[in-house]
Amino acid sequence: MRQVHRAGEKLFIDFAGPTLALTGGGRAHIFVSALGASGYTFACATPRETMADWIGSTIRALEFYGGVSQLIVPDNPKAMIADPDRYEPRSNDTVLDFARHYETSVLPARTYSPQDKAKVESAVQVVKRWIMARLRYHHFTTVQEVDQAITPLLKQLNHKPFQKLPGSRASAFASLDFPALQPLPATRYEIAHFKTAKVHIDYHIEVGGHRYSVPHALVGQVLEARITACAIEILHRGQRVASHARSSQKGGFTTVTAHMPAAHRAHLEWTPQRLIHWGGEIGPATAETVTRLIGQNKHPEHGYRSCLGLRSLAKRFSQPRLEAACTLALQIGTCKYRHIRDILVNNRDQHQAPPANDWVSPEHAHVRGSEYYQ
């Protein structure tokens, strides 16, 4: 039975069976699409028939037509279709994401139903005769050269008069399909891949060996990562909860401050200068202790936790007692947090509290002074 297609409703897509040889090795595969009502045809060359080639070629076709059909009808290529069920076929996640971007639907042709794809089969045959036959004896080095050779022949094909109907594919497209197409989106679709990942206790998920933060309330949840060449978008139940620039640094972290718990954000707000200034307000021994804790590590941040521990001791035991404990600790050659804590817990600072001016800061080549952080 002859099928009648409504204007702007369906875009049929497929690859032509034959390929064109390249002189440098490899072959050019020919993608073909045709609109249902007018038969207006698009063709381009690709190096393979992967999912990226299918989607990339379909994007080029939509841009060629200047609009989007309500449905896109492929055959049942494994690169696009996760489950080719006759009654409920299911596209893979990337194809569904592509369809959402263009506000269209991908509806594979039914298996063993050639009438579902008759329009594109006809277009493929025409492209074989009108374009590929003419290019068969040309010498092409790259796929791009094949593409350039297709363009003028495609224009001739679409303007070629129908044999039994008035007009041509181009004139039918202008009067039927084009006015009924939906507009193209503002941005071109960027091919994405998807993976699920569990949020670690440090409120990060791992993608490609790099860790990206999500809101800390999602610790333990299984999220979906949408991965493009430049970005990582993280989804929870279909809603975006985080977005990051993609990083190639293995073992690295990309963290958004707003994703941190309040205690972690407070830790992040501290700097060496601020910690040393805080220590100086209590006394010279505390300032020296803070300076050593920060300076003895390759990265100052490694000493932050000990310094914040000193702040906690000042609140618990008082600032004068902390200064006395730091003085005693420095006299016995230590600045470790746990030693200062033990001095305070055991009241050693009160049993033996020397005057602050009895202690003089020694020189250590391996410890940065406070002036380093000015």
pLDDT (tens digit per residue) in 205-240? 999 999 999 999 999 999 999 999 999 999 999 899
Q: How far is residue 124's CA from residue 33's CA, in Å, rounded to a whole number?
A: 8
Alpha helices, DSSP H, located in 39-142: 51-65, 93-102, 118-127, 133-135
pLDDT in tens, 60-94: 999 999 999 999 999 878 888 877 666 677 788 99
| Pairing assessment for the beta strands 27-35 and 210-213 based on DSSP bridges | unpaired
Output the six-digit token pair for 307: 């310094």
| Residue 130 in this model has a pLDDT that exceeds 90 | no
| Residue 119 in this model has a pLDDT that exceeds 80 | no
pLDDT, average across residues 44-57: 95
| Residue 97 in this model has a pLDDT that exceeds 50 | yes
Question: Residue 158 in contact with residue 64, Cβ under 8 Å?
Answer: no
Q: Is 80 exposed, middle or buried (0-12, 13-18, 19+ CB in 10 A)?
A: buried
Average pLDDT of the chain, as a whole number: 87
Output the six-digit token pair for 263: 């205690």
pLDDT band for position 111 (50/70/90)?
low
The CATH number, out of the four listed (3.30.1280.10, 3.30.420.10, 3.90.1150.10, 3.40.718.10), of the domain defined by the range 10-180: 3.30.420.10
pLDDT in tens, 308-338: 889 999 999 999 999 999 999 999 999 999 9
Strand order in the sheet with 239-245: 193-198, 222-227, 231-236, 239-245
The pLDDT, as a whole number, for residue 260 is 86
Output the six-digit token pair for 203: 């409120």
The pLDDT, as a whole number, for residue 65 is 98
Map residue 372 onto helix, strand or coil: helix
The pLDDT, as a whole number, for residue 297 is 65
Q: What percent of the chain has pLDDT over 70?
A: 87
Q: Is 319 exposed, middle or buried (0-12, 13-18, 19+ CB in 10 A)?
A: middle
DSSP per position, 279-315: HHHH-HHHHHHHHHHHHTSSSGGGGHHHHHHHHHHHH
Q: Is 229 exposed, middle or buried (0-12, 13-18, 19+ CB in 10 A)?
A: exposed
pLDDT, average across residues 99-107: 95
Other CB atoms within 10 Å distance of the CB of residue 298: 6
Strand order in the sheet with 27-35: 41-46, 27-35, 10-21, 71-73, 105-106
Question: Residue 51 in contact with residue 80, Cβ under 8 Å?
Answer: yes
User: For residue 336, which amino acid is it?
Assistant: K
Contacts of 220 (CB under 8 A, 6+ apart): 198, 199
pLDDT band for position 270 (50/70/90)?
confident
Orientation angle between helical segments 284-295 and 272-282, nearest 10 degrees: 160
pLDDT in tens, 245-254: 999 999 888 9
| Residue 369 in this model has a pLDDT that exceeds 80 | no
The pLDDT, as a whole number, for residue 1 is 45
Higher pLDDT among residues 207 and 108, named by residue: 207
Q: How far is residue 82's CA from residue 64's CA, in Å, rounded to a whole number?
A: 27
| Residue 5 in this model has a pLDDT that exceeds 70 | yes
pLDDT, average across residues 158-180: 94
Q: How far is residue 79's CA from residue 58's CA, in Å, rounded to a whole number?
A: 13
Q: What is the pTM of this model?
A: 0.67
User: For residue 142, which amino acid is it?
Assistant: T
Q: Where in the chain is the domain with CATH 3.30.420.10?
A: 10-180
Residue whose token pair is 């975006």: 240
The pLDDT, as a whole number, for residue 163 is 86
Higher pLDDT among residues 4 and 280, named by residue: 280
The pLDDT, as a whole number, for residue 85 is 67
